[in-house]
Structure 1
Amino acid sequence: MNNDPVTTNPDLYQVLFENDRVRVLEYRDEPGTQSVPHAHPDSVMITLSNFRRRLTAGDRQADVELQAGQARWLEAQTHSGHNTGATDTHVIFVELKEPAPGGDPAALGPAATP
């Protein structure tokens, strides 16, 4: 099964740029939108809108609320998302193509600001 978000959720994710080192995705949704499970490699997430969402991976959930203009590290992970807020979500992901040196199998959602 292909867990690429552009394949699993083509109405939500769009490739803006890609080369042999990175891929840049744009993500947009509306309140109430739910994505199907998909995988992200290690990425930098840049928020372009304020949003609230629930991320789910198996039996784990994380509620995330972020403001526009933030850059966050996103550890490689597989999840589905649900826009639980009252605003549209607009995010840019800069996905790294190089192999991760380990990683955290329990990662869910963006990392807290350092």
Structure 2
Amino acid sequence: GKGTKTRTVTLTRERIRLEDRAVKMSVKTVGKEKVGVLDIPGFYVGLTDDVKVQLQKLEKQNVSSVIIDLRSNGGGALTEAVSLSGLFIPAGPIVQVRDNNGKVREDSDTDGQVFYKGPLVVLV
């Protein structure tokens, strides 16, 4: 406003570390069982392929079940969320999206393939 001083402020943007956003895999021992844990902090482009690689690693470690941890997930690409969900179901609707005109679109998994068929827990 009138009579105020202009100040110049310099902001320095920090580098975004992509490895902090990538899926992280670990194996926990519960009793005599080995449980695979996939921590997914966001739905980034390429997530589904990364999860496939991690699931293959878990299979080689003979885990009895898998936990997908979405509790720290900040969102991201809906296409990746749909694609990821498709790894665990043969086919069917995954999500409905309503646009600002009220039109509803349904995104489904249609490939008929299941990448992981064992016991699965999703933490949200």
Task: Give the greater-gyration-radius structure (CA).
Answer: 2
Greater RCO, CA 8 A, separation 6+: 1
TM-score (norm 1): 0.29
Higher helix share: 2
